[in-house]
Chain A
Amino acid sequence: DIVMTQSPDSLAVSLGERATINCKSSQTILHTSNSKNYLAWYQQKPGQPPRLLFYWASTRESGVPDRFSGSGSGTDFSLTISSLQAEDVAVYYCQQYESTPYTFGQGTRLEIK
């Protein structure tokens, strides 16, 4: 199984500042055949289901503000919020879909400092 490890577990950032969440896979999730990284990012606010933010590691889902960006390749990935807004308080998860069992990172809780 591919293990997904996020860091940090929690993060407190001031409004307007940059927030970066890291995600590392235990093996590569880059397919050389199509040069795609099989990684998604989700945002989950309290009492709500997860919301898709990015797929293929860096393709932003429709409706996601452009202050959010996804990057990385192979085994190391990042989700960055360039200027934190109050509505960004949530838990963020990465997920690999390169192979079953599909696996999620443990989550990173993002709060306002």
Chain B
Amino acid sequence: QVQLVESGGGVVQPGGSLRLSCVASGFTFSNYAMHWVRQAPGKGLEWVAFIRYDGSNKYYPDSVKGRFTISRDDSKNTLDLQLNSLRPEDTAVYYCAKDRVRGYMDVWGKGTTVTVSS
């Protein structure tokens, strides 16, 4: 079945870095755009990154632009998110999500937790 499994979360100090990964299965990964969405503890959903199916375009909100980088490796069915210059407000569950068409998300992983704290 269609599945997304995130990994790489953990506890990191402010200013530190972390790399999240998402392994996809059950669908032709290279045909689909992908997203990262995060959810701070007890808060709502915040979109943080998008990459087109061919990797040609990447988009970010201002809150993470210049600090986060999304990438994909279609040979490994893997989506990554490099998180640099982390801040306490980046603490959240990070979800990987598949884009069906044009920006809505039809499959979600269970998430990986990032905690930024000294």
Whether chains A and B associate is: yes
**CB of B45 within 8 Å of the partner chain:** yes
Q: Are B106 and A102 in contact (CB under 8 A)?
A: no
Question: In the complex, what distance in Å separates the CA atom of A105 from the CA atom of B95?
Answer: 17
Q: Are A104 and B47 in contact (CB under 8 A)?
A: yes
Q: Are B95 and A102 in contact (CB under 8 A)?
A: no
Given contacts A40-B104, A49-B111, A95-B104, contact A101 B47 (CB under 8 A): yes
Q: Are B104 and A52 in contact (CB under 8 A)?
A: yes
**CB of A67 within 8 Å of the partner chain:** no
Q: Are A52 and B106 in contact (CB under 8 A)?
A: yes
Given contacts A104-B44, A104-B47, contact A97 B103 (CB under 8 A): yes
Q: Can you list, as one digit per residue, whether each of B103-117 has a CB less than 8 Å from chain A (1) or not (0)?
A: 111101111000000
**CB of B59 within 8 Å of the partner chain:** yes
Q: Can you list, as one digit per residue, whether each of A83-113 has a CB less than 8 Å from chain B (1) or not (0)?
A: 0000000010101011011111111000000
**CB of A50 within 8 Å of the partner chain:** yes
Question: In the complex, what distance in Å separates the CA atom of A45 from the CA atom of B91?
Answer: 20
Q: For A102, list chain B residues within 8 Å (CB).
A: 35, 47, 50, 103
Q: Which applies to chain A's interface (DSSP): helix, strand, loop or mixed? A: loop
**CB of B102 within 8 Å of the partner chain:** yes
Q: Quick one: closest A residue to B111, CB to CB?
A: A49
**CB of B46 within 8 Å of the partner chain:** yes
Q: Can you list, as one digit per residue, whether each of A37-52 has a CB less than 8 Å from chain B (1) or not (0)?
A: 0101010100011111
Interface size of B by CB at 8 A reads 23
**CB of A68 within 8 Å of the partner chain:** no
Given contacts A93-B45, A101-B59, A104-B46, contact A49 B102 (CB under 8 A): no
Given contacts A50-B108, A100-B59, A101-B62, contact A38 B102 (CB under 8 A): yes
Given contacts A49-B109, A100-B59, A102-B50, contact A38 B45 (CB under 8 A): no
Ranked nearest first, the 8 interchain pairs of A and B with the lowest CB-CB distance are A97-B103, A49-B108, A101-B61, A40-B104, A102-B47, A100-B59, A104-B45, A107-B44
Q: For A91, list chain B residues within 8 Å (CB).
A: 44
Question: In the complex, what distance in Å separates the CA atom of A104 from the CA atom of B105?
Answer: 12
